[in-house]
Amino acid sequence: MARTKKITCDDCFFRRNMLCALALEEPCTTFRPDHPEGLRPPEQMRFVFRQERRTQATWAFPTAQEQAARHGIPA
Ligand code: SF4
């Protein structure tokens, strides 16, 4: 698995376009990378059918690092 660089709020679309009203120490789950094409919708969730009994929550908000990896932020 490729390592991704540590993202900051300075990489976020909302910060760069002065749309963020949060004053946090680190990026939040709303993080979206700032692309030249603008804000792109997140990738659709995929169905995964499991045979075993569910023991964890079905879904959780991705971390900012996971958001960056989803959108292909280079290392
Ligand atoms: S990651 Fe969250 S806190 Fe940081 S700039 Fe983006 S929206 Fe604001």
The pLDDT tens digits of the residues spanning 12-34 come to 999 999 999 999 999 999 999 99
Whether 7 and 73 have beta carbons less than 8 Å apart is answered as yes
69: Cβ below 6 Å to ligand 1? no
**Rounded Cα–Cα distance for residues 18 and 35 (Å):** 15
24: Cβ below 6 Å to ligand 1? yes
Q: What percent of the chain has pLDDT over 70?
A: 88
The pLDDT tens digits of the residues spanning 24-65 come to 999 999 999 998 888 888 778 888 887 777 666 777 888 888
Residue 36 makes CB contacts below 8 A (sequence gap 6+) with none
**Rounded Cα–Cα distance for residues 17 and 38 (Å):** 10
13: Cβ below 6 Å to ligand 1? no
What's the pLDDT score for residue 58? 75
Give the three-class secondary structure for 33.
Answer: strand
What's the pLDDT score for residue 17? 94
Q: 54 C-alpha to center of ligand 1: Å?
A: 32
What's the pLDDT score for residue 16? 94
Q: 14 C-alpha to center of ligand 1: Å?
A: 6
